Amino acid sequence: MTAERIRDAAILRYGRDGFSVGLRAVAADAGVTAGLVVHHFGSKDGLRKACDAYVLGVIRSAKLKATRGGPAAAIAQLAEIEEYAPMALYSLRSLQAGGELAGEFMEQMCADALEYLEAGVASGLIRPSRDPAGRARYLAMQGMGSLLLWISLHPGFREVDDFRKELRQISDEITLPALELFSEGLFVDRKMLDDYLMYVCDPPAGDAKP
Amino acid sequence: MTAERIRDAAILRYGRDGFSVGLRAVAADAGVTAGLVVHHFGSKDGLRKACDAYVLGVIRSAKLKATRGGPAAAIAQLAEIEEYAPMALYSLRSLQAGGELAGEFMEQMCADALEYLEAGVASGLIRPSRDPAGRARYLAMQGMGSLLLWISLHPGFREVDDFRKELRQISDEITLPALELFSEGLFVDRKMLDDYLMYVCDPPAGDAKP
DNA sequence: TCAAACCTTAAACGCGCGTTCAATCCGCTG
DNA sequence: CAGCGGATTGAACGCGCGTTTAAGGTTTGA
């Protein structure tokens, strides 16, 4: 009961201010003292791990689907749901700081992206790739990365509502360039791609396998 | 003389360990005491600002060109030069932490990307965009963002050499997906783009300008 | 009813941080 | 040589951190 209140307060506060906030601030948000937090979670790191585990579980069970617009849209979608918004923010902070959750979270993102892309390929909407997993990973990393960079450059939101506003602004700004790139590509011809494919099949020197 | 040695040591250490390292660690790297650092730079924040200004100046004068592969390649290119590698790392840490340099750095990146893209358009290699600045910004944010995310997920490099290895690995992994996307796009048809263009020209409700 | 098991608090501890300060060293100039 | 000013040191200060500890409440079950 109280432990869950502390955990929720920690998720909210860590999401807003990052993991460098003190235990006492989290404790005050939950209406308790710092000692009690340690009593329930062992240490600050224990609290962090508990938050990680809880958020990961919720996100896993929420089965966030990567819709069109890339993986960034998945976070946006999650943030639209009032209840989940703090966890979306927390996840971003977690990616920013690295650590246990970050890796699993990105793995999940890549897997979801792959799944969605393959569904698109199967239905004839999306072009097949020579390296589907690599492409999914590439798109997931780029999408989440740009989101991460954005919140680094705009650290000014103090409420979860501001976070939603930021996400909508991002969406507005990137939709046209993304649709252009996804629909028409960037290069006029295929020369660079063909040159590269030729290169990797028949490298000019060295380690060709027998 | 000594001040420059402190500044260089700070750039190196901040780049490796992030901005949370103590003044005493930086001072020890430079072979001086913490008091002297404050004497020369006023405060820890003064040291940070001095590093920011110096790195920004160097990067500005180095006129890093965004070659094919996107803005991430610019960092990689910078890191290949032994002398500049610590500053490339420092810039990434700066983006991670936000702040003064981060904003100007990304502005520079976007401007360079725009310049390079327009040159490509002029020479007939790159497709024109309906929103050239938006596209440049989009590509710069995605490229730098994914780099940022990568170093968050792989915080294990302790030497500048490791950083170069990481960059080469990134390059190897993303080259094929990036070339595919840039050459062939992602969608099979243009329906989504056309729908969106139709939508923004003739929105179904509300704020149409006279 | 009594005591064991808990939840919870307030105070204290030790540590490392950024910063301050007096003292010392060193090189220059008159 | 005397003296001055910047460079440099080492010790100290105050602060906030995570953590520990002893004590006080509150529930609970035999």
- What are B54-70's pLDDT values in tens digits? 999 998 887 655 455 55
Nearest nucleotide (C1') to alpha carbon of B45: C18
- What's the mean pLDDT in B182-202? 92
Residue B21 clears pLDDT 80, i.e. is over it: yes
Minimum CA–CA partner of B97 in chain A: A152
Which residues in range 31-70 of chain B are in contact with strand C, contact meaning CB within 7 A of any of its atoms? Answer: 34-35, 38-39, 43-45
In a mutational test of the A interface, the residue from B67, B149, B170, B189 whose CB has the highest number of chain A CBs within 10 Å is: B149
Instruction: Give me the sign of the Cα torsion angle A166, A167, A172, A176.
Output: positive
- What are B86-145's pLDDT values in tens digits? 999 999 999 999 888 899 999 988 998 998 899 999 999 999 999 999 999 999 999 999
Which residues, 6 or more positions from B141, have their beta carbon under 8 angstroms from its beta carbon? A146, A149, A150, A174, B106, B110
Q: What integer pLDDT is reported at residue B100 of this predicted model? A: 80
Which residues, 6 or more positions from A138, have their beta carbon under 8 angstroms from its beta carbon? B146, B173, B174, B177, B178, B181
Q: What integer pLDDT is reported at residue B204 of this predicted model? A: 57
In which residue ranges of chain A is pLDDT below 70? 63-74, 203-210
- What's the mean pLDDT in B177-188? 96
Q: Please say whether the beta carbons of B156 and B130 come within 8 A.
A: no
Of B135, B137, B173, the CB nearest to A180: B135
Which residues, 6 or more positions from B116, have their beta carbon under 8 angstroms from its beta carbon? B65, B66, B67
Q: What integer pLDDT is reported at residue A73 of this predicted model? A: 66
Q: Could you tell me the distance in Å between the CA of residue B2 and the C1' of nucleotide D7?
A: 9
- Angle subtended at Cα B160 by Cα B156 and Cα B163, rounded to the nearest 5 degrees: 55
Confidence of residue B49 (pLDDT cuts 50, 70, 90): very high
Residue B71 clears pLDDT 70, i.e. is over it: no
Distances in Å between the Cα of A61 and the Cα atoms of A54, A57, B51, B140 are 11, 6, 45, 33
Contact list, B175 vs chain A (CB under 8 Å): 196
Q: What integer pLDDT is reported at residue A100 of this predicted model? A: 80
Q: Could you tell me the distance in Å between the CA of residue B90 and the C1' of nucleotide D5?
A: 35
Q: Could you tell me the distance in Å between the CA of residue A176 and the C1' of nucleotide D12?
A: 60
Average pLDDT, chain B: 88
With a pLDDT cut of 70, the percent of chain B lying above it is 90
User: pTM for this structure?
Assistant: 0.89
